[in-house]
Structure 1
């Protein structure tokens, strides 16, 4: 494992420890939303769809597929569940009627905010406890965990959200 560590002197044990910390943090970060999703009979894929559609009302199915990196068949099942529960609706595009534009209903937006609240609280608390440099450093680490070929599209996504105040 040491051969993949190029510029920093980090031991193999430190790397393994960081991997384990990430597993534990992810377990706890997802635990509250998982409990809420279970009440609906949903899983994490439903959460991701609700989140991204809520952050970008009117996004196309193709855009959502690109962001999530899942198959059309998998997304179809998740969308069907969300539409049946009246959390998401779709309509044809204004200029291209073949496009399916996705939106959250009022209940879908309420669910999005309910799912996000405990995660936001957890991040706010962690950043506060970690100190002044935590946010920019955490952001850098997360960004560099993203595959290099996906970083540009993620940066563009985040920049467009910031510019729109979303």
Structure 2
């Protein structure tokens, strides 16, 4: 049986170890939470004929206006072919603008158009409301613990990108 040390638990008691059954429950909770987290955006995306890959691209282009295709590839962890398919649709539909880089003509810099910002705001707004409600119900200690767990699950490169995004937002 795999056991993992834990410093705190529900209700404030200290758990020394988590059993495989407890870990399985946590994994299942993540699956169901993700389903809930994506449900509202999925309905919005379906109206436009888009999928979650389009949502992720819109989200990160909004977070880093002028980001390069290369940077977006690294953030999303998808193939160039897959991202190009998504970007082509978003550009053709007038949601994303792709410009040649000023220093390097091989670069393509991405920004959202007004229509792209509006769709991204609708998608993220639905998710913010769900997160806000969950955070309020869970309380500040649970929110801090949740963030700690999520960050601990990221590999070092993803954590570095996440921290850079957080710093840019502050």
Deviation at 1:137, TM superposition (A): 1.3
Answer yes or no: is 1:27 the counterpart of 2:46. Answer: no
After TM superposition, the structure 1 = structure 2 runs for residues 8-27 of structure 1, keeping only pairs within 5 Å, are: 8-27=16-35
Query: How many residues matched?
Result: 161
After TM superposition, the structure 1 = structure 2 runs for residues 125-164 of structure 1, keeping only pairs within 5 Å, are: 125-162=133-170
Deviation at 1:97, TM superposition (A): 1.9
The whole-number CA distance in structure 1 between the counterparts of 2:57 and 2:44 is 15
Structure 1 unpaired stretches of 5+ = none
Deviation at 1:114, TM superposition (A): 0.2
Q: Secondary structure at the match of 1:42?
A: coil
Q: Paired residue for 2:103?
A: 95
1:111 pairs, out of 112, 116, 119, with 119
Deviation at 1:134, TM superposition (A): 2.3
Q: Paired residue for 2:2?
A: 2
CA contact (8 A) 2:41 2:126 kept: yes
Runs of 4+ in 1 over 6 A off after TM superposition: none
Residue by residue, what CA displacement relative to the aligned partner does 1:100-156 show, whole Å, maximum 9, x if unpaired? Answer: 100101000000000011110111111110112122211111111212443223222
Alignment RMSD: 1.4
Q: Secondary structure at the match of 2:140?
A: coil
Structure 2 unpaired stretches of 5+ = 7-15
Deviation at 1:65, TM superposition (A): 0.6
Deviation at 1:96, TM superposition (A): 1.6
Tell me the TM-score normalized by structure 1.
0.91
1:75 pairs, out of 73, 83, 98, with 83
Tell me the TM-score normalized by structure 2.
0.89
Structure 1 residues 150 and 55, CA gap change in structure 2 (3 angstroms): closer
The whole-number CA distance in structure 2 between the counterparts of 1:132 and 1:152 is 24
The whole-number CA distance in structure 1 between the counterparts of 2:109 and 2:156 is 29
CA contact (8 A) 2:5 2:18 kept: no
The whole-number CA distance in structure 2 between the counterparts of 1:64 and 1:148 is 17
